[in-house]
Structure formats: structure tokens, C-alpha cells
Chains A and B, each alone.
Chain A
Amino acid sequence: MSDRGHIPESRQREAPRADLKWIGRSMKRVEDPRLLVGKGIYTDDVNLPEMAHAAVLRSPHAHARIVSIDVSRAAALPGVLCVMTGADAAKVCDPLPTWASPPVLQPVIADDRVRHVGEAVAAVAAEDRYIAEDACELIEVEYEPLPPVVDPEEALTSTGDAVLHPERGDTNIALERTLSFGPVEEDFAAADLVIERRFRWPRSGGQPLETVGAVASFDEGAGRFTIQCNTSMYNYCGWMIASTLRVAPHKLNIVPTLAGGSFGSKMFVHKVPVLAAVLARAVGRPVKFMEDRIDNTTSCDNHASDRVYYAKLALKRDGTLLSLKTRIIDDYGAFLQFGVGQHGNALSQCVGPYRINSVEVDLAAVLTNKCQQGAYRGFGSEVANFVIERLVDAAADELGVDRIALRRQNFIRPDQFPYLIPTGNMYDSGNYQAVLDETLKLADLEHWRAQQTEARKAGRYIGIGVATCQERSVFSATEFWMWNLEQGVEWTSSPDGVSVKIDPTGKAFVTLHSPFWGNSPETVAAQVLAEQLTIDPADIEITYSDTDQGLNSTGPGGSRFTVMVTGAIVGAASQIREKMLRIAAHLMEADVRDLALEDGAVHVKGVPDMKMSIAELADKAHYYRLSMPDDLDLTSGLDATYVYDHPVTTLPDPDERHMGIFYPIMGHSCHIPVVEVDVETGQVHFLHYAAVHDCGTMVNPMTLEGHIRGGTVNGIGTALFEEFAYDEAGQLTTALWTDYLIPTIKEAPADIVVGHVETPSPFTEYGVKGGGEGGRMGGPPAIAAAIEDALKPLGVTIDSLPLPPSRLRALIRKAQGRAA
């Protein structure tokens, strides 16, 4: 383990308080009115004069050489403006941005070979989308098939024609290495018992209802692109798109639109904006490219962790957990967008809420003929949660002790925070016992245990699962590169900025530098600014910047946004408050130390009549310069910008004894589902579901509960139904939503009973923690445990997801066969 010396001092300015007026209130959302009346502008709602429309011809092969492409018939179709092949695209743009080091080159349109079904082979811009799609059907492509690589474990030994990127060597292993933290071998030698399991986590995805789109235009006179797009990290690294387009970064403006959901999948979209932009430049008109659903499912940034685990948990006979070893093979698909950042992420909480002394992770990231991985709620840590929770359940069963009792025994205690886990990451605060107690109360465990006993007598199978999971929030950029063997992108900043202006009439304007992607950025910003300036949220207007105006801002991924925008607003509001106090002190001839901001006015303490409202002060600040002190700092107006850096992060140790603090704002959850399994059909019904989350100080309990319930139903999808399934030929057999089964209301529990514990973070403003991903990070291990518990009389073990009725029936049939 790393020494505690690398925990920095807290930079918190605003401690949590009981007397907050707006923070902690379930305020109705600021975002909603325009969305409810159909006036929200999503990407596909953008229409520009003379705008053309794009469609993409996609590869039907998993792996093939492109021998020839004949676009002549397509180009001759009336209404077609441009047909672009990979060779054409390579003349006008570079490979797509990547965080992988060494890079895995990804062309926007496949050039000499295709590497997965759905990869772009040609793009068409036409007068309308119908003509563009007609033209795609007229393009003739001759392919020479290559061996498809589909199984991640077989990818470990690929050579020759089966290698996707021969320029990186004769292998499909993108990265393979072992990281070891603490005395792993000693701990295993001291163990009385080692639990060994193989787990399979399926490839699923965020699958927001809105696909990815972009409307691009090119101003030939200025040599400048404008791209309206539903992306997220544009103010963090949007310039990378400019590099791909071979223009200087200031020759590109990215303008965010509303995003109709993301769940991580729109964290940094690269293919769609680049494609729209190269076509716009080629045809000299604005071009809209909006993915259709098959474009999205076969070639998006949506496919998430796809892992095989060989896991070992070492423990003492008395139940003390000692050490964790995992061998992971992760199927990244054909390219590496974020490097192996998902495994940096997973190191942040791989020991769960437990005191485990040492950890070894042996990772092989392999390339296969599937769509590249992107981000989805959890970004790799949801898998680590599943693995540690399943191991703890298995350990309890092996020891013959209660699964809950074994958890309690090994929980990190409230007095041990801030706590460093073996990988070096810090857990800032927590109270896992309290979360468990609260969940047990809501779950009514005694009642359901009795029901379970009765049901078993009647030949029915009711099961109860308990998972106690970490819910890390606020990533630091180091997670993206800490695994890399070669130096590449090694950023250490991941800030978020905000601009605040009080106009001459006293109204407040906030510019956010990260987009709306289905979360509640405007509501959070309004609540925090209202709290800071003692104003009414109704007097605050929220807008979003483009990259021309933008401040360095990482965006909402990784459950960051609420913590980060709160920090940024505290920073900006304190500047505004200070200026108002100085002006008020001057105008009221008072000492600034005798003034206080309350109820939208600056008061002289103890003199009720001596006060100036924010509107009066704003008016003076804007128009009465000659009434102010002659001070160069006291510029006209009332505005501030503030870029809030990550509240607490440190570098990885140079000798890799630990990875530093990189994901420290640690939430926690306990999920207790009660299910009934119909052993004849393999169907799972939820009889009850309780979930308690500790996300520190809550800014808006209503929206947090929305995330928890929505995330939990995402987790139900992952556990029971969802899978991007590829057959042996590398065909995606679940490209349509008739086959990729997203939970409808019929699959969702009627009532997910949500509770809260609030353990404030000592490092963030007001003690807020992020809560955007927790539902999906807690649901799957709890549901797996509940199903296993239900089928305990049959001896079924759950180590692989998803569990649709067909697979659950197969497990039951096998178990019944064994019993017979």
C-alpha cells in the first residue's frame, strides 16, 4: 500500500451546512418547459439554409480487404452532391483522435480494409436523406474476406491475416501487463482459503433514444468549420477534431445542442462530426449527418466493457479478506478510443467497500472484429463491482456464513476515512454500515425471508440479493493513461468552468461550458448560484458556450458535473460577492467587514435600514463608474469566470507502487432486490427493490433519485437482457431494438424504493458527491445474487450475464439434470 503522505489538504471553501435554502431542495427542473412543449433543439432539429444530408454505406463483413469500390452509378444519381470513399477521405483528413498509446489508427471511412460490421465504407451527401440512401445502394464494393476474430480469448493468439492492425505488430493484443499493489504473494501465502471464479461480463451499451448527429458547415472565406453536435468534451479536447480535419484549432467552432440521452455514449463523439465536416467542405454547403439506429448500434461509441475475468480472492478462515488477483481479457473491438481508460477507472474501487490489503491486476486488452468500445455508465468500474460482489458472495457461501455478515465484517469503518486502497486511490468519506442498515430497513428483509420459506414449500423460487457497491465520482485525467507502457497523452487536468454575469437590472446569467446530455445542469447551476448569491433561481438564465467562447471544461462524464459545476459557481460567485461588497461599502460608507449578503441585498449588520439590493448594486457597477473608487481592479460591470480544478488528485507513483489519487469522491450504495424466478420459463419478476445511495450532500434529491432509478433499470437491462451479440462470423445479431432488448416498463420494478444517507465529502464544495452512474453500478451484482439465492435449492451459480429466459432456463435445466 502507498503511504498516506500523498493525501493533499482539502481545498473546500463551503462546508456543508444545515441552513441551506436552495441546495438540498427537490426543485422542479429548469430544463423542462422547453422539452415538454417540443421546443428543445436537439441535433436533428437544426436546419440550415441549403443544408445537404448524408448517409453512410457500411461494411457487411467483419474483416475484409477492400479490393475495389465503384461509385460511378451513385455519383450519377440526380440529387447526389458527393460520394466519398476512404481513399478520398484520407486525402482531406487524418485518422480520428485517440487516447491510445501507441495509437490505434482509426480512419473516418475505412480505407484498405474493414475491421467490423458497420464500419463506414463510403459516405454520400445529397439533396435529401432518401436520395443519399438510394445512392449508397448503388455503390459497388468488392471485398476479399479475412478471418474474423470474435472470441476475446482466441484473439490472444491471433497471427497473420487475423491481425487487425498489422502495423502494430503480428498480434491482436493492444496492451498486456500486470500491475501489483501491496504484498500480494505474501497475502495469498497467508490465506486459509482462495475463492476462484471465472466471470463473463457482456458487451452492452448506453443506447440513448437519440443517436449521434452533427450539422457541419465550412466557411470558405474564413477557412473555418462550424459543427453543431450532441457531443460532450468539446471544451476539453474539441481541438482534436480540428487536427483530424487538418485545420488550426481556432478554425473550428463546435456548438453543442441538447443531447437526447448519453449515459456515457456521447462523451467524445468523433466519427460523426468529422464525417459531416469533410462532406460539408467537399460540397460547399452545410451537411447534416444523423445516424440512423443501425448506424449507431453497429458503429457508435456505445459498446461498453466486454470482459472475461479469472478472479481469485484470498481470505482467512475467520472471514478476513486479504487479497485480490484478477486476470482480465477485455474485448475492445476494432479500435481504442479512450485507450484502456476503463481499466484505470476500474482500479479506483476494485476492492469495493472492503479492507483488502493487496491487489494484482493482469490485463490483456485485445482487438477483435467488433465495434470499438466507448463509455457507458460505470466506464469499467461497474464490472469491478460485479466481480468483487460475486466473490464476496461466493466466499460467504464457502465459509457457510451470512453474506451480509461477511460484508459487515470487512467494511472500511467510518473512522478510517480518508482511506487509501492498495491501488493508491483515496476513498474520501463514507459510512457503509449506515447505508446497509438503511437498506435493510427499506427492504423489509424479515418479511421476504419468511415469504421465501413459504414459497419454497410451494415449489416457488424467491430470492433476495444484497450488493454493497462503491460509486466513485469525479475522475481525474490520469485514469486514461496510467496503464500505458509508452508515453502519449498524459494529461493531469480535468476542470470545469463557468461564467457568471449579473446584468444592470440584477438578473443573473450563467454560461455553462459543458452540455446538457440528459442530466440537470441548468437546475444544479441555478440552485447553487441562488444559494451563493441569495437570489431566486427564477432570476437566473442558463446558456451553453461553444468552443469559441468556452472555458476549459471536461464535461459531465464520470459522475462529475454536479461536484464540478458547484465548485466553479462557488469560485465565480465569491468574486461577484466580493465586488458587490466593495461597491456597497463605498456607497454606504461602511466597512466591508460590517457587511453581509442576505436575501438578495447587501446589509450593514445590525442596521436594518442600511442595505442595497443586488439590482441597485448591479446598476451602480455598470453605469456609475465615476461614483466608484479610482481602482484599476474595479472594472465596470458585475461578472466573473472561474475554472474549478479537480478537488483532489495526485500523480501516479513513478515506480508504479500505486497510481495516485484519481477518483476519490466516493459514493456508496446498497441494493436489495427480491425476485421470483419462474423455473419453467426462466423469467425473472421483481417482487421488491430497495436501493440506498450515499452521494454526499444532495443538491436536488428528486433528480438524484431519477438517476438512481433510471440507472438501476439500465442495470436490470445489463443483468437480464442486453447484449451486443456477435456470431462466429462477426455479424452483430442484435443490431435492431427488436433483438437488443431494452427494458420496457413491463421489465422495470413498479416501485424502486430509494433511500439516502448523506456523508459529505470533506474535499468538495458543500460536501457534494456525484451520483450519475450508481444505479447501474449496484444493480447487476445484486440481481445476480438474488437469482442465485432463488435457485439455491437447485444449486445454480451465476457468473455470467445477461440472463434472458433462454439462458436462465439452460442453467436450470443443467442443474436439474445434475440433480437427477
Chain B
Amino acid sequence: MERESISVTVNGRTYERAVEPRRLLSDFLRDDLRLTGTHVGCEHGVCGSCTVMMDGVTARSCLTFAVMADGAEIETIEGLGSADAMHPVQQAFWEKHGLQCGFCTPGMLMTAVELLKRNPDPSVDDIRDAISGNLCRCTGYQTIVDSIRHAAKLMREDGA
């Protein structure tokens, strides 16, 4: 199959690659760039595990072709924070037990970051709306809500 040349900026670094038009963004990130923090759960757009940020808004990388990201700025979990310098959202999920198996977590975190960017003090209902497209099979969601509320508080304190 013919390949298309694309240029994609991921976590601030620009990658030039030639990909088949059918190649999924999730496969491009995971297999071509070896950024395996983005997880593929259902591969049909239901679970939200593969959520990444594309030009500042969340996108399901399993429903996005890599060629659609040509020229785009992508942010993935790897760009959020590191184990010794966590983003407040990561810190909050750790403190409030917002994860068990960790598989939905990268997508959940990217969704939370998007919410907190536009709404620094979300209500419980705001949070429930925001993550209603992300499945978690482990937690029952309650501690995820706690985590995002706590993250909002940490970020407001940071900003103050």
C-alpha cells in the first residue's frame, strides 16, 4: 500500500514518517514511535483508553488515522509528567486511589487534564459528564471523581 509522508509533533518533538493511509494514530504512537503509554482497549471507540490530546482537544487515537494528525500537535501521557515530577493530576490519582490496573488511566488522565484546563473548579456533575466516555472496569469511578477534584485543588493551589 502507498505510504503518505506526515509530520506530527508529539509531546513537543516533531516526527517525520511515511505511513499507510489506513494506519491508526494509536498504532503510529505505540508501534512507530514506541510511546506505549497510550493504551488500546476496545479499538472501536467505546472505552476511551486510547484518548490523547490533539491540538488541545481530546481524541480517540483508535478512531483517528495517523495521516489525519499530519501537522498536528499531539500530547500523550508520556508528556504529562514523570515519576519523580508528576503532573498534579497524576499526583492526585495516586493519592486518592484513582486507579487499580492502570489500563484506562492514561486516557482518563488526558480527559481530566482537558476538563481542568477549561474548568479549574469543576463540580462532581461536571466531572461525571467529562469522563462519561471513558470506561474503567476496576474502580467504580468514585475515586476517579475524588482524584479529579483533588487535582483541581492542587492545581488551583499551584497557580495561587
Binding site for B on A (CB under 8 A): 28-29, 31-42, 44-45, 47, 128-130, 206-210, 258-263, 292-293, 517-520, 702-703, 705-707, 709-714, 736-738, 742, 744-746, 748-752, 775
Question: With A and B bound together, what is the CA distance between A263 and B145 in angstroms?
Answer: 22
Residues of A contacting B82 in the complex (Cβ-Cβ under 8 angstroms): 37
Q: Which residue of A lies closest to B142 (CB)?
A: A709
Task: Identify A28's interface contact among B94, B124, B142, CB under 8 A.
Answer: B94
A-B contacts, 16 of them at CB < 8 A, read A31-B102, A35-B99, A36-B109, A37-B81, A37-B82, A44-B39, A45-B30, A207-B137, A258-B101, A261-B138, A293-B41, A293-B44, A703-B97, A705-B97, A746-B132, A748-B142
* B100 engages A518 (CB within 8 Å): yes
B34 at interface, CB cutoff 8 A: yes
| Chain B 95-110 interface 0/1 with A at a Cβ cutoff of 8 Å (1 = within) | 1010111111110010
* A130 engages B20 (CB within 8 Å): yes
Binding site for A on B (CB under 8 A): 20, 22-23, 27, 30-31, 34-44, 46-47, 49, 76-78, 80-83, 86, 90, 93-95, 97, 99-106, 109, 124, 128, 131-133, 135-145
Question: Given A32-B94, A45-B36, is A710 in contact with B100 using a C-beta cutoff of 8 Å?
Answer: yes
By secondary structure, the A interface counts as loop
The distance from the CB of B33 to the nearest CB of chain A, in whole angstroms, is 12
* A745 engages B141 (CB within 8 Å): yes
Residues of B contacting A711 in the complex (Cβ-Cβ under 8 angstroms): 140
Question: With A and B bound together, what is the CA distance between A202 and B97 in angstroms?
Answer: 31
Known pairs A208-B137, A712-B140, A745-B145 / 5 extra A-B pairs, C-beta < 8 Å:
A28-B94, A38-B80, A44-B30, A263-B137, A745-B141
Shortest 9 CB-CB contacts between residues of A and residues of B = A38-B37, A260-B103, A35-B102, A518-B101, A38-B77, A709-B140, A713-B140, A45-B36, A737-B46
Task: Identify A209's interface contact among B30, B109, B135, B141, CB under 8 A.
Answer: B135
The distance from the CB of B66 to the nearest CB of chain A, in whole angstroms, is 12
Residues of A contacting B34 in the complex (Cβ-Cβ under 8 angstroms): 47
Question: Given A35-B99, A36-B102, A518-B100, is A209 in contact with B46 using a C-beta cutoff of 8 Å?
Answer: no
The distance from the CB of B82 to the nearest CB of chain A, in whole angstroms, is 6
Question: Given A37-B80, A208-B103, A260-B102, is A709 in contact with B139 using a C-beta cutoff of 8 Å?
Answer: yes
Residues of B contacting A39 in the complex (Cβ-Cβ under 8 angstroms): 37, 83
The distance from the CB of B37 to the nearest CB of chain A, in whole angstroms, is 2
Question: With A and B bound together, what is the CA distance between A129 and B40 in angstroms?
Answer: 14
The distance from the CB of B138 to the nearest CB of chain A, in whole angstroms, is 5
Residues of B contacting A749 in the complex (Cβ-Cβ under 8 angstroms): 142
The distance from the CB of B129 to the nearest CB of chain A, in whole angstroms, is 9
Question: With A and B bound together, what is the CA distance between A746 and B141 in angstroms?
Answer: 10
Question: With A and B bound together, what is the CA distance between A705 and B146 in angstroms?
Answer: 14
Residues of A contacting B124 in the complex (Cβ-Cβ under 8 angstroms): 750
* A745 engages B132 (CB within 8 Å): yes
Task: Identify B77's interface contact among A28, A37, A736, CB under 8 A.
Answer: A37
Residues of A contacting B141 in the complex (Cβ-Cβ under 8 angstroms): 713, 745, 748
* A750 engages B142 (CB within 8 Å): yes
* A710 engages B139 (CB within 8 Å): yes
Task: Identify A751's interface contact among B135, B138, B142, CB under 8 A.
Answer: B142
* B22 engages A130 (CB within 8 Å): yes
The distance from the CB of B78 to the nearest CB of chain A, in whole angstroms, is 5
* B106 engages A292 (CB within 8 Å): no
* B128 engages A745 (CB within 8 Å): yes
Q: Which residue of A lies closest to B82 (CB)?
A: A37
The distance from the CB of A739 to the nearest CB of chain B, in whole angstroms, is 10
Question: With A and B bound together, what is the CA distance between A761 and B152 in angstroms?
Answer: 41
Residues of B contacting A28 in the complex (Cβ-Cβ under 8 angstroms): 94-95, 97
Q: Which residue of B lies closest to A134 (CB)?
A: B1
Question: With A and B bound together, what is the CA distance between A518 and B136 in angstroms?
Answer: 12
Question: With A and B bound together, what is the CA distance between A749 and B128 in angstroms?
Answer: 11
Question: Given A35-B105, A738-B46, is A710 in contact with B138 using a C-beta cutoff of 8 Å?
Answer: yes
* A744 engages B135 (CB within 8 Å): yes
Q: Which residue of B lies closest to A746 (CB)?
A: B132
The distance from the CB of B18 to the nearest CB of chain A, in whole angstroms, is 14
Which of A32, A258, A737, A750 has the most B CB atoms < 10 Å from its CB? A32
Task: Identify A36's interface contact among B20, B38, B90, B145, CB under 8 A.
Answer: B90
Question: With A and B bound together, what is the CA distance between A42 and B105 in angstroms?
Answer: 13
* A29 engages B137 (CB within 8 Å): no
* B101 engages A37 (CB within 8 Å): no
Residues of B contacting A710 in the complex (Cβ-Cβ under 8 angstroms): 100, 137-140
Question: Given A29-B94, A713-B140, A738-B44, is A38 in contact with B106 using a C-beta cutoff of 8 Å?
Answer: yes
The distance from the CB of B49 to the nearest CB of chain A, in whole angstroms, is 6
Residues of B contacting A714 in the complex (Cβ-Cβ under 8 angstroms): 137
Question: Given A28-B95, A293-B44, A746-B132, is A37 in contact with B90 using a C-beta cutoff of 8 Å?
Answer: yes
Question: Given A32-B94, A710-B138, A750-B142, is A293 in contact with B99 using a C-beta cutoff of 8 Å?
Answer: no
Question: Given A209-B41, A210-B41, A293-B44, is A37 in contact with B83 using a C-beta cutoff of 8 Å?
Answer: yes
* B94 engages A745 (CB within 8 Å): no
Q: Which residue of B lies closest to A737 (CB)?
A: B46
Question: With A and B bound together, what is the CA distance between A45 and B35 in angstroms?
Answer: 9
Residues of A contacting B20 in the complex (Cβ-Cβ under 8 angstroms): 130
Residues of A contacting B42 in the complex (Cβ-Cβ under 8 angstroms): 209, 293, 736-737
* A706 engages B101 (CB within 8 Å): no
Which of A28, A128, A262, A293 has the most B CB atoms < 10 Å from its CB? A293
Residues of A contacting B142 in the complex (Cβ-Cβ under 8 angstroms): 709, 748-752
Residues of A contacting B44 in the complex (Cβ-Cβ under 8 angstroms): 293, 736-738
